[in-house]
Amino acid sequence: MGLRENFQRLVDKKQQEIRALEMQLREASAYIQALQDSMKLLPRDPVTNSGSEYVLREGSTLAKTRDLLRKSGTPLPISEILRLLGKPQDTKHRISLAGTLSGYARKRRVFAKTAPNTFGLLEFGTPAQTEEDELPAEFGSMAQ
């Protein structure tokens, strides 16, 4: 019976090692989950490798618009942007793209609104439009 007891001890020892490794695995998984939960609380890092540009998802309409504006080197009206992107120039598409670009322009990320329904890039050095700029010329003297 000594041989059977030796085998049983070896089996018990291996099972104990397995339980210890399973415990380490559970602890490591819990640690990873805690790190991932902590990452969710942090703001996303919006900069690329250059450190100065807001990240746009490659292939998205916004990335294509950015590339299009860079290529043109000048601000373009929304209808021209849609035409060059090959999108329909209907109200739905115009409002959608203009709204998104306006949101980015308000937050001063990538795009700038240079005139009504006309957008450029911040890198063009376009001055940000102020409330005074939006007033008709006849009211300009009152704002001072």
- Dist. CA 124–CA 140, nearest whole Å: 26
Distance in angstroms (rounded) separating the CA atoms of residues 61 and 25: 43
What's the CA gap between 76 and 79, in Å, rounded?
8
DSSP designation for 57: -
Q: What is the pLDDT, as a whole number, of residue 35? A: 92
Residue 135 amino acid letter: L
Could you tell me the pTM of the whole model? Answer: 0.52
pLDDT by residue for the chain (144 residues), tens only, comes to 689 999 999 999 999 999 999 999 999 999 999 999 898 888 765 544 443 467 888 888 999 999 999 999 899 999 999 999 999 989 999 999 999 999 999 988 889 999 998 999 988 874 544 444 444 444 444 444
For residue 53, what pLDDT is reported?
62
Number of CB atoms found within 10 A of residue 56's CB:
20
**CA nearest 85: which of 66, 101, 100?**
66
Neighbours of 44 (CB within 10 A): 7
pLDDT for 141 equals: 46
pLDDT of residue 127: 52
Q: Which residues pair with 102 in a beta bridge?
A: none
Q: Which of 20, 23, 19 is closest to 31 using CA atoms?
A: 23
